[in-house]
């Protein structure tokens, strides 16, 4: 079967960063106001008081210290706690497409490619900013790519599922090269008034050029050696927002229309699934775990990654074995493992192996074994 490589990666980082302290100040101001306004109902047991958050709590629970966002002031306004991003006209480039174009240009540059070399654009992420037309087709138009594009949503595993989909398109001859994009505006679906999750997410966009090895010319090539995908239905991570919202007015604006999860269940169930998936994929690649020198894991929670690495290695991973970007980017959904891959790949010697692994809502797990060329 035709050998396929990831020949270039790109990253768009939003212009604003929010520290834990800034986020906690806004949340606690909201909580204090809520508790004061509902003092009588709280005393009567009709409403639960909101506990304050703290930077120490956030870092202990997640390993997150800050996050990047597309807009900051609205999030930090206790009376709003939602980004302020004006709608754009239909004749303007969409915000999500703008993020994609920025990341794509970097990936194309590292791959030594131009838009004329790309036949397929795949936008794979947790949330699209609209139903149609497809974000991928808008990005295709903005970059001047002659070919086809479509969108894909497999939540936090969208990037790894996208890699496999792109590789299959190259192997089948449908495309010479594919541009895979992961634009995550996670601040749009995060409930900044929920103490258990208000700190989890950040915004970012990653990009990858995937093409046939026999035509690739870049100095940043990673051969896709093996990949495995798995889904198993679970309600433990869920968002009920959708076009059917308007059918029942009682549901509009309710907390279930934003991100929510049962964190303890997710931790307990997903960690062993991810570790097993990695081990199986490495074995299918004809390798032993000690031959893998780097793990670019989904950046959702530091404690999850530490446990997965410990399960695989039988010890704590060294920082360069399982690099962390979670502390400054937070959970960027599908982009997280690719941010880690993008930032921590150039020092690897030729012939070394690594694993890109994502896991999240669905449940969905994607695992890709790569070899530095």
Q: Which residues are identified as catalytic? A: 156
Of the candidates 10, 353, 373, which has an alpha carbon nearest to the alpha carbon of residue 220?
Answer: 373
């Amino acid at each position: 079967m035709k050998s396929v490589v990831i020949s270039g990666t790109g990253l768009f980082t939003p212009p604003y960063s929010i520290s834990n302290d800034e986020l906690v100040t806004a949340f606690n101001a909201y909580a204090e106001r809520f508790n004061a306004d509902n003092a009588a109902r709280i005393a009567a047991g009709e409403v639960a008081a909101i506990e304050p958050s703290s930077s120490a709590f956030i870092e202990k629970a997640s390993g997150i210290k800050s996050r990047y966002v597309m807009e900051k002031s609205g999030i930090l306004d206790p009376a709003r706690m939602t980004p302020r991003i004006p709608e754009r006209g239909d004749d303007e480039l969409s915000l999500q497409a703008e993020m994609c174009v920025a990341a794509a240009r970097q990936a194309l540059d590292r791959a030594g490619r131009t838009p004329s070399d790309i036949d397929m654009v795949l936008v794979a992420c947790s949330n699209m900013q609209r139903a149609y037309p497809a974000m991928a087709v808008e990005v295709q138009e903005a970059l001047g790519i002659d070919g086809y594009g479509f969108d894909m949503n497999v939540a936090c595993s969208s990037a790894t599922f996208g890699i496999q989909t792109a590789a299959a398109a190259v192997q089948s001859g449908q495309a010479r090269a594919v541009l895979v994009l992961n634009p995550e505006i996670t601040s749009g679906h995060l409930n900044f008034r929920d103490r258990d999750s208000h700190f989890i997410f950040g915004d970012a966009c990653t990009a990858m050029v995937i093409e046939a090895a026999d035509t690739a010319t870049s100095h940043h090539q990673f051969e896709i050696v093996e990949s495995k995908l798995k889904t198993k239905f679970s309600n433990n991570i869920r968002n009920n927002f959708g076009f059917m919202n308007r059918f029942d007015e009682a549901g509009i604006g309710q907390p279930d229309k934003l991100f929510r999860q049962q964190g303890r269940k997710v931790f307990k169930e997903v960690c062993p699934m991810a570790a097993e998936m990695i081990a199986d994929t490495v074995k299918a690649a004809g390798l032993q775990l000690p031959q893998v020198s780097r793990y670019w894991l989904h950046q959702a929670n530091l404690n999850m990654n530490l446990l997965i690495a410990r399960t695989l290695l039988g010890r704590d991973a060294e920082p360069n074995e399982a690099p962390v970007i979670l502390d400054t980017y937070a959970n960027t959904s599908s982009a997280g493992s690719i941010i880690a891959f993008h930032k921590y790949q150039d020092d690897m010697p030729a012939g070394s192996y690594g694993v890109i692994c994502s896991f999240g809502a669905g449940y969905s797990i994607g695992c890709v074994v790569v070899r530095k060329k």
